[in-house]
Structure 1
Amino acid sequence: MPQETLFQESARVSNRANPYPLYAELRRTPVSRESDGTYVVSTYREVSSLLYDPRISADPRNSADPPPMYKNPNAPPPEPSFIQLDEPRHEHMRRLTMKHFGPPRSPGRISGMAARIGQLVDKLLGAHQGRQEIDIVQDLSYPLPVMVICDLLGVPLEDEPRFRDWSDILTSGLDPDPSLQNDPAFLQRIFKASAEIRVYMAELLKAHRRTPNDSMLSAFVNDPEARAQVTDGEFMSIAILLLIAGHETTVNLISNGVLTLLRHPDLLARLRREPELVPAAIEEVLRYEPPVQFRNRTTLADVSVAGVTIPKGAEIILLIAAANRDPLRFPDADRFIPDRTDNQHLSFGSGVHYCFGAPLARVEAQIALREIIRRLDGPVLAVDPPPYRFNPALRGPSHLVVNFERLTD
């Protein structure tokens, strides 16, 4: 297959169940140029170095081909959230947000949620008492992160059907398929969803200002320092980011973890015997089946990578999932090893843009996986491979039906 088509091929729905052979081919050339001019970087050393490189921009306004929501000719572009900003604005905005999420201002916010997360997992699994089938995605790995993020942010859980639709539409904009990116109907759906979620979030933030509570969003929008330095548009973008990113990737992490263990029943049995290995197993799931497969960036200057000069203004795809299976970095890279040591995967990014929600995702996934392993007797996949979500960037099953003998207490 010609080198310039490999990434495009890996993103096709037909390869969603197993893009890894194509990623292995891509790694033969650490930096490859696609037919549309995009550069794909697929090896660990190169991806890792670019995640730290200040000449690589996360800001969509620097892109010659920004995401669809920035292309609406009838509305001003939204202000980027902090993860889409470069230094020094990124660090400043991240600090203002982080102080209401974790240390040092709110050191116990995430660790203090463990008991609540355990209660939610118990409730969701308990609903299947007396049954012998569960759809892990629809019955657990989707509702759990949604409940948690709504609790954390102060978003009414009853609004979930609305923001689920908006989230599905907006994340579909990450699909690199040129036919979609130039499809007027596809773009209109994104424009509509973007407008609707911004109206919704503006009203929610106003409500938090009128009636403050102990939620993260309430603390953030009522923080005098933030109110003096963050625009209303930035508040909205950050809130939308926290809501969508706060559940989308965790859904895939839990689902991919269950899928991987059911494909390795010997390892599932081992984790049942040794539940203390679950945290390390979650790190291996993150490496082996990352919930975010790639990240998009733009060069601010000419950058030399693995002997290739990527010109200023070029679009780059950092192929995290390929880098995580680079045999030059990870021994037996295509093998799932639940107690793997030296597991510095790139699934939460690296450098200044390291995922600040990583601690919460880890806690949720560890509790969910531990309880599934402990409580489902004789679990087996009903269908393998399962159907996958449409989005190639946020890769995970859309359904994961598991048959089991019984559910224990």
Structure 2
Amino acid sequence: MTQATLLGQILDHANRADPYPLYTELRKTPVYREEDTNTYVVSNYWEIKGLLHDPRISSDARNLSPQAAGALPDQEEDESALPPTFLKLDPPEHDRLRRMTMRPFGPPETPRRVHNMRGELSKIVSDLIDDFGDREQIDLVDNFSYPFPVTVICRLLGIPREDEARFHTWADTIAASLDPDPSEDPTERRRIAQTARTDLGVYLAGLIDERRKAPGDDMLSALATEHGPDGQMSQMEVLSTAALLLIAGHETTVNLITNGMLTLLRNPDVLKRLRTEPQLAVPLVEELLRFEPPVQLLPQRTTLADIEVAGTTIPKGASLWLVLASGNRDPQRFLDPDRFDPDRKDNQHLGLGSGIHNCFGAPLARLEAQIALTELARRLDNPRLLEDPPPYRQNAVLRGPRHLNIAFDGCRP
């Protein structure tokens, strides 16, 4: 098996249901150059961890060499005309925007924002499960995993309840553009996605203007009005950040919850434990982030200087792919890495990244998954998979089932 065909197989949708044997093969060459390109792939835990903390690694695609940029896989073109989010920037701009976004979201300025949402999160989950009604079969993605995080983001940003349905529609359309169906006309898909982005942008701009005139206690009001040590965000920066919170938080949490339920249904002994030991949810979600991370790889990093990694020199301007999911199954770091073990100790996984670009919404994503999986385990009577493996999304980066059809014998109160 050649290195080039190995990478091609990892990106091939035919292997989306189980890429882990390919990652095992990949780790035999911790760093390699993709044939005829300036793309380097890193797959082992310690090498990935080091690079995520290395200031010589850039998240700004403008630093790619022309050769490396041309070697990247086709991406849906971002036609939103918004400036880059802090995820795609380097210090000092990254640090400034991240600090400004963190002020109304978490420590040190707002340490209890996520904690204080616990009751509301539980209510949303309970209402969604109540909506299953008398059904004994659902698609967990459409009926639960998608609507839950979008509703949470609406409440976090301060979207009026009467507008949540419209917001959901825009979010679903934009999310679908990140996971394109190859049978669809790409031109039409881009047009529909751009219309949704434009409509969402116009809506958010109006909401931002309202918040500047009459701020509330929501996060959008804070982003629009706060004057902190770093000044105030511009209108475009607020729009870009709000869009980031919508897409990044939504997509990763959908995968975390869906992959989590799939893993529990494949491990009924753990599902039974969670039903009777709700405190298991915390270490269980950490193990899910290691075992089935919602973000599998980071394909758009760039080297700002020549860097030696595991005996290989990666040149300046190269495209660097960090395969987080492979690092999470590295036997040099984790004992028996292909076993799902919620009692695992020292679980310093890469499921939420590491370094300055570690997942901004990690505290909220963790809490959402803990509450969602605990309530699903408690309330669904005898849940079982109807299809295994389920159909997977096209996206190789944001890997997760597109549908997860499960049957059960009713819902407990």
Same fold by TM-score greater than 0.5 = yes
Matched, 1:164 2:163: no
Letter of the 1:122 partner, please give it.
S
Residue 305 in structure 1 maps to residue 309 in structure 2 = yes
Would the alpha carbon gap of residues 16 and 268 (structure 1) be closer, same or farther in structure 2, given more than 3 Å must change?
same
SS, match of residue 97 in structure 2: helix
2:391 counterpart residue number: 387
| Contact in 2 for aligned 1:68/1:190 (Cα 8 Å) | no
Judged with a 3 Å threshold, the aligned counterparts in structure 2 of structure 1 residues 78 and 264 are, in CA distance, closer, same or farther, namely same
Contact 1:300 1:313 in 2 (8 A): yes
Q: Counterparts of 2:204 and 2:375 in 1: how far apart (Å)?
A: 34
2-side partners of 1:190 and 1:9: how far apart? 28
Tell me, in whole angstroms, the C-alpha distance in 2 between the residues paired with 1:251 and 1:213. 28
Task: State the 1:340 CA deviation.
Answer: 0.8
Distance in 1 (CA, whole Å) between partners of 2:77 and 2:233 is 20
Question: What is the distance in 2 between the residues matched to 1:202 and 1:3?
Answer: 47
Deviation at 1:397, TM superposition (A): 0.8
The answer as to 2:43 corresponding to 1:42 is yes
- Asked if 1:347 is matched to 2:355, the reply is no
| Counterpart-to-counterpart distance in 1, 2:214 and 2:248 | 25
After superposition, the C-alpha distances for 1:115-144 in whole angstroms (9 at most, x for unaligned) are 111111111111123321122111111111
The residue number in structure 1 matching 2:4 is 4
Partner of 1:220: 223
The DSSP-based 3-state class of the residue aligned with 2:388 is: coil
Aligned to 2:101: 97
Q: Matches of 1:13 and 1:88 in 2, distance apart?
A: 37
Match of 1:322 in 2: 326
Name the SS of the counterpart of 1:40 in structure 2. Answer: strand
Q: Distance in 2 between matches of 1:302 and 1:190?
A: 38
User: What is the alpha-carbon distance in structure 1 between the residues aligned to residue 136 and residue 77 of structure 2?
Assistant: 46
Q: In the superposition, relative to structure 1, how do residues 388 and 276 fare at CA in structure 2: closer, same or farther (>3 Å)? A: same
Question: Who is 1:202 aligned against?
Answer: 205
**Structure 1 residues 303 and 104, CA gap change in structure 2 (3 angstroms):** same
Q: CA deviation at 1:153?
A: 0.9
Return the alpha-carbon distance in structure 1 between the equivalents of residues 410 and 193 of structure 2: 43
Residue 406 of structure 1 aligns to a residue whose secondary structure is coil
The aligned amino acid for 1:117 is L
Of 2-11 and 254-263, more deviation after overlay is shown by 2-11
1:233 shift after superposition: 2.3
TM-score by length of 2: 0.90
Amino acid at match of 1:41: V
Worse-superposed segment, 49-58 or 82-91 = 82-91
Tell me the residue number matched to 1:234.
237
Q: Is the 8 A contact 1:256 1:396 kept in 2?
A: yes
**Distance (Å, rounded) in 2 between the aligned partners of 1:120 and 1:197:** 23
CA distance, structure 2, for counterparts of residue 209 and residue 230 of structure 1: 12
Secondary structure class of the residue paired with 1:407:
coil
C-alpha displacement of 1:209: 2.0
Q: Return the letter of the residue paired with 2:43.
A: S
Question: What amino acid is the match of 1:50?
Answer: L
CA 1:69–1:255: 2 relative to 1, 3 Å: closer
Match of 2:265 among 262, 274, 280: 262
Kindly provide the amino acid, as one letter, of the partner of residue 157 in structure 1.
E
| Higher mean C-alpha deviation, range 101-110 or range 355-364 | 101-110
| Separation in 1, partners of 2:409, 2:188 | 46
> Which letter maps to 1:110?
V
Q: Where do 5+ consecutive residues of structure 2 fail to align?
A: none
Q: Aligned residue for 1:247?
A: 250
Distance in 2 of aligned mates of 1:38 and 1:199: 38
Answer with 283-292 or 221-230: which moved more: 221-230
The number of equivalent residue pairs is 399
| CA distance 1:226–1:392, shift in 2 (3 Å) | farther
The root-mean-square deviation of aligned C-alpha atoms, in Å, is 2.4
| Matches for 1:144-163 after TM superposition, within 5 Å | 144-155=148-159, 156-159=163-166, 160-163=168-171
- Check the 8 A contact 1:382/1:403 in 2, yes or no: yes
Q: CA deviation at 1:187?
A: 6.3
Are 1:69 and 1:194, in contact at CA under 8 Å, matched by a contact in 2?
A: no
Offset, 1:378:
1.0
Is contact 2:82-2:239 (8 Å) kept? no
Q: How far 1:87 moved relative to its partner? A: 1.4
